[in-house]
Structures are given as C-alpha cells and as structure tokens.
Amino acid sequence: MKVLHLASGNRWTGAAAPAFAEVEALRAAGVDAHYAYVGGYKLQAKIGHHDFAHALIAKAQNPFAFMRSLRAIEYLFDHHRFDVVHAHLTYDHWLARFVVRGTRTRVARTFHSQRVLRDDPLTRSLVRKSDALFVVNDTFAGAPLLRGREAIFTPPPLDQRQFDPDGADMRATYGIADDCRVIAAIGKLSKDRGFEAVLESFAAVRRAIANVRLMIIGHGEHRPALEQYAATLGVSDDLIWAGYHEEDLAEHYRTADVLLFTARGSDEGHRAVLEAMSCATIPAVYPIAGLRALLGDLAGDCMADGASPEQLADVVVRILTMADHEPLSRRVQERSDEFNYDRAAERLITAYEGIV
C-alpha cells in the first residue's frame, strides 16, 4: 500500500507533528508512506533529511500558489501512484481532491480542531467526496458536519523512542533539589491558553504543600503578563520559565511529578498529555473534551471535577501527598502504550484497507 499525507502547517506544533508521526508509524509497519509539507521554515530543517518528506506545498495560500503546489504534488503522485491521499488541513483537503481526480486513489481527511468542523456547503462537499474521515478528538464525531458518516478516532501517535520513563531529566540544569516536587505546564504562552489557571492552581497547591516548584515549558508574547500575574500571586520565586523545547522535551517531562493541562491547544488531540504520560508523568487536567478517551480509567485519579484552579489543585495535592504515587505513575505509563506507533499504524491500516 502507498499513502501520501498532506499537512500544510508550517511549524511543528499544530497538525504537523501528529501527521508526521502517522507517516513514521505507517512506515515502521511496512507501508510506503510519504509526507508533503510547506518548505522554507524551521520545519524543513527538522524533517527535510528524510527521503519520504517532501517540501512541496508553497508558503502562500492563494490561487497561484495553489496551482504550484498542485503541480508539485501531482509530479510526486505520478511517480508513486498512491492508493490513498490523506489530508490534515482544509487547504490540504482541496489539494487532495484535485490531485486524485480521474484516478482510483482514495481521499482521507483528519480533523484536528473543532473550529474546522464548519457545516457550510464547501466543507460539506469535501466531506461528501472523501472516502474516510478521521478525528483526533473522539468528541468531534458528533459534529453536525459528520452526521451520518463514520468518523474514526485516531489520537496522536506517540513516539516512544523519544518519550519514555527512563533517561535523564533537567533537575540539575534548573537547580532543583532532589526532595523538591515539580509541577509542569506546556504550551504556547498566548492569551486564553489557560496559563492564568495554571498559576492560580500552583498558588493553591503551594499553600498546601511546601517545597514545590512550577516549570512552564513554552514561549510566547503573553509571558510578560504571566510573569506579572505570578508576582501578584506571590509565586514568582518558585517558577521556572523553561522556554520552548523539542529535542529534549522528554527530559523536561521526566523532571516533573505532575503535568497541569488547563486548555486545549491548536491541535485538539492533546498530544502533550500523551507525551507526559509516556514519560510516567501524571497528568492533572481540567475536564476538557477529548481527554477522557485518552485517560481511560485514569480519569477518576487525574481529572478535576470542574474547570476551576481550586478543583485542579485538589487533584494535584491528592497525587503529591500519596504515600507512594509510583503505582499511579506506572498505570499512566502503561496507558500511554495504547497510543504508540504500533497501535496508531494498526488503526490507520485497518481504515485504509476498508476503502482501497
């Protein structure tokens, strides 16, 4: 089987990372899978050395750039004769529809966020002419746009070669004492990404537990406002602003006992929660749509009763004051196996075989 994935995101965050991970998972399972993406950004420096990754999609998104991208993808298509073209964003979906016209190649589409599930005539046309539909968040399947169609739940594939419980951490780098508990949060430091709730939750935890620090992983324009708010809450001295990390991200997860998750990101598959779980870091989360499917029977231990800092702090305090939270860490890590490359490839291959 030959499969081409299209993802027109220009950065690793968002749809690009889970889409690329699906290609890697498929290739590991013996499928001739390829990945087409937007060239000319840091993303190309990260993945451009792979012979199955093709920087074919133009930076601009206008009719002229669309035709340039279409011709480049058609050239690759003519060479490989793919059985399935799998789109990840709406722009990719239009490219896929034009690429396969007049052929027996099937079109698949993954929906990565609620906002693109628009029930308008153009989007309905794309969905109607697609052979398989996937969602990274199980709650998307109930959207009006997908009514009457099977939407296959394909959570972000987890690369356990990188994210595993064994290996180095960053405690020495950040001067964290061995007996100090660490809470982490990760994401782009933008407004409305839940970091105020993270800081408020941490302040509540610190009132209950001594010798605990908060590590914030990420960067963004909202950091000065967050630093000011942290000062207002009186927690600045116990904060670690770690910045953005990719290659050593697992080391940062391993540093933490608990990962706070208070808001959905640009990709609503909640990949960060799975990565942390694979490193045996216990998630403490708001009841955000889609998380219950990832946590399974861990939801009772890890999910707050409501979306308030006080309720989330109660979860964290309960975890950190356990006589031994190692059994819970092991359960968290074992649960992450459900999302590894083998399982991801199995889900995709089963779906592709059903339409080819």
Give the pLDDT band of residue 308 (cuts 50, 70, 90). very high
Confidence check: pLDDT of 323 > 80: no
117-140, pLDDT tens digit by residue?
Answer: 999 999 999 999 999 999 999 999
**Alpha carbon separation from 296 to 76, 88, 338 (Å, rounded):** 41, 26, 10
pLDDT at 10: 79
216-272, pLDDT tens digit by residue?
Answer: 999 999 999 999 999 999 999 999 999 999 999 999 999 999 999 999 988 899 999
Structure tokens at 156: 């972000």
Report the half-sphere exposure of 305 (CA within 13 A, side-chain side).
3
Provide the pairing of β-strand 212-217 with 132-135.
unpaired
Rounded to an integer, the average pLDDT of 195-215 is 97
- The CA dihedral of 59, 64, 69, 70, to the nearest 10 degrees, is 160
Domains assigned to the chain: 2-157+340-355 (3.40.50.2000), 181-338 (3.40.50.2000)
Rounded to an integer, the average pLDDT of 338-345 is 98
pLDDT at 332: 98
Report the half-sphere exposure of 288 (CA within 13 A, side-chain side).
23
* Helix H or strand E encompassing 42: helix 42-47
pLDDT at 325: 85
**Alpha carbon separation from 121 to 125, 128, 198 (Å, rounded):** 6, 10, 40
pTM of the model: 0.94
- How far is 334 from 106, CA to CA, in rounded Å? 35
> What DSSP assignment string belongs to 227-262?
HHHHHHHT-GGGEEEEE--STTHHHHHHH-SEEEE-
- Total number of residues shown for the chain: 356
25-62, pLDDT tens digit by residue?
Answer: 999 999 999 999 998 888 888 898 999 999 999 998 89
